Amino acid sequence: MKNTLGDLNNYLFESLERINDDSLDEEGFEREIKRADATVKIGKAIVNNARVQLDALKHMDEYGYEGKRVMPVMITGANE
C-alpha cells in the first residue's frame, strides 16, 4: 500500500489517463468516470487530513512548544 501525497497525485493522473483512453466504449467510460469520482472524493479527504496536520505543525512552530505541547486528539488518537 502506498500512502504518500505523491502517490495520490499519481493515482489522480492515472485516472485522467484512463478517462482519455479513446478505446473505451460508453460502458467502460462510465465505469472510469465513477472510479475517478471515487478517487477524487477520497483524495480530497486525504488532502484535508494532511492540511489539518500541517496547520497544527505551523501553529506549534508559531507559538512554540515550551513543554506544553498538546496535540489535538484527532491528530494523535490519544490524549498526551
Domain locations in the chain?
5-76
CA nearest to 56, candidates 28, 37, 32, 80: 80
For residue 62, give every residue at least 6 positions away whose Cβ sits within 8 Å of its Cβ, in sequence order, or none: none
Q: Given pLDDT bands bounded at 50, 70 and 90, which one contains residue 72?
A: low
What global pTM score does this model have? 0.68
- CA atoms of 55 and 33, how far apart (whole Å): 32
The pLDDT score that the predictor gives to residue 19 is: 94
What are the tens digits of pLDDT across the range 5-27?
Answer: 888 889 999 999 999 999 999 99
